[in-house]
Amino acid sequence: MLIAIKILILVVLVVLVMSQFFIIIPAYMGRLVLDLLKTWLTGRDVLRPLGPGINFIWPWEKMVADSDTDIVTLSHKFKITLETADNEPVELNCSFTTIPHLESLAQFRKFKKEDRIGAIMENLQGFLTGIQKEYLDTNALMKGLEKIKEGVRKFIDTVPITTPANESSGAKMLIADYYGVRIPVFQISDVEPAPELVAATVKKRIVTEQNAARDKEMDNVRERAEKLVSDSKGTLAYIEALKIVQVQDGKVKEERKIFGLDSESRGPIVDAIKEVLINVFHKN
């Protein structure tokens, strides 16, 4: 009986001692502990993230002061104006969500919220600006929105970004790993353009089409003129051949001078006719 009581007391003591190494972290919260042993061995802070629920910490670990972090999803929005290959401006609405990544909690806490979100936006805007010329005009870009969204998703998940040279991580890291977040959602949609912008875009497109048609027409005129010169065996000048083609197309009126009807000779002829008439009627 005495042995059983001693064992019970021992178990209680062990439970009491061990309970000192368990902590409860509320839901949607994260916390960091510092491993003093590994820190001493490596010469740098070795941190371990803890998630919501009951967590065990070793005797050589201690809580990092004020390390509580909200593990919540936040939404962010920005607008960007892209310019297509035809120099048509297209304004887009973009939105994305971020959530602190528990495994990268130490990295997450390196940045202020404004700096982190601003930097992520700059990276996304840089990617979008880099692909804008792949689309000829507004219609092509609008039809390609889904493809653009897939490209942004791939950029977030697989393309490393250049980190500052003074970072111990050195090389390159994924945007999510560097800022200690996950970006599960990215959305993109077009913005209803102002009437003035629509009118300017339509006018520009019409002028562009007219210029293209005019260039095509001039190419045809030049080709026909060159053929006339070639057929004449060199007796016809190129500039004269151009005039002939333009006359044939009705673009230029053919100039014809008939003696007696031009402005320089009309006066003397009229005077001569008057004199003849006077003499005839005077004799009669």
Q: Are residues 54 and 163 in the same domain?
A: no
Separate counts of helices (H) and strands (E) for the chain: 10, 12
Residue given tokens 């990295």 in the structure block: 107
User: Which pLDDT score, from 0 to 100, does residue 220 have?
Assistant: 81
Instruction: Report how many domains make up the chain.
Output: 2
Q: Could you read off the pLDDT of 144-169 as tens digits, one per residue?
A: 889 999 999 999 999 888 776 555 55
Contacts of 64 (CB under 8 A, 6+ apart): 31, 32, 33, 34, 47
> Does the structure show a pLDDT above 70 at 264?
no
Mean pLDDT of 239-264: 63
Q: Which of 193, 208, 237 is the last residue of a domain?
A: 193
Is 119 a member of any domain? yes
Is 169 a member of any domain? yes
Q: Are residues 32 and 99 in the same domain?
A: no
Mean pLDDT of 112-131: 92
Split at pLDDT 50, 70, 90, the class of 284 is: very low
Which token pair is 8? 């019970």
User: Which pLDDT score, from 0 to 100, does residue 244 have?
Assistant: 76
Q: Are residues 79 and 156 in the same domain?
A: yes
Q: Are residues 182 and 140 in the same domain?
A: yes
pTM surpassing 0.85? Answer: no
Is 39 a member of any domain? yes
User: Which pLDDT score, from 0 to 100, does residue 17 have?
Assistant: 58
Mean pLDDT of 206-211: 72
> Does the structure show a pLDDT above 80 at 231?
no
> Does the structure show a pLDDT above 90 at 26?
no
Q: By the 8 A CB rule, do 89 and 80 touch? A: no
Is 89 a member of any domain? yes
Q: What is the CATH number of the domain that holds 96?
A: 3.30.479.30
Q: Are residues 30 and 92 in the same domain?
A: no
User: Which pLDDT score, from 0 to 100, does residue 196 have?
Assistant: 61
Q: How many CB atoms lie within 10 A of CB 92?
A: 19
Mean pLDDT of 64-88: 87
Is 152 a member of any domain? yes
Q: Which of 64, 8, 14, 12 is nearest to 35 (CA)?
A: 64
Q: Which of 48, 68, 88 is the last residue of a domain?
A: 68
Q: Are residues 104 and 183 in the same domain?
A: yes
Is 166 a member of any domain? yes
Cα distances from 35 to residues 49, 75, 104, 208, 245, in angstroms, run: 11, 34, 16, 68, 90
Q: Are residues 60 and 87 in the same domain?
A: no
Q: Which helix (H) or strand (E) holds 47?
A: strand 47-50
Is 184 a member of any domain? yes
Taken in order 20, 22, 24, 28, the sign of the CA dihedral is positive
What's the domain range around 89? Answer: 72-193
Is 29 a member of any domain? yes
> Does the structure show a pLDDT above 50 at 266?
yes
> Does the structure show a pLDDT above 60 at 254?
no
Q: Are residues 178 and 100 in the same domain?
A: yes
Q: Which of 169, 193, 217 is the last residue of a domain?
A: 193
Contacts of 125 (CB under 8 A, 6+ apart): 78, 80
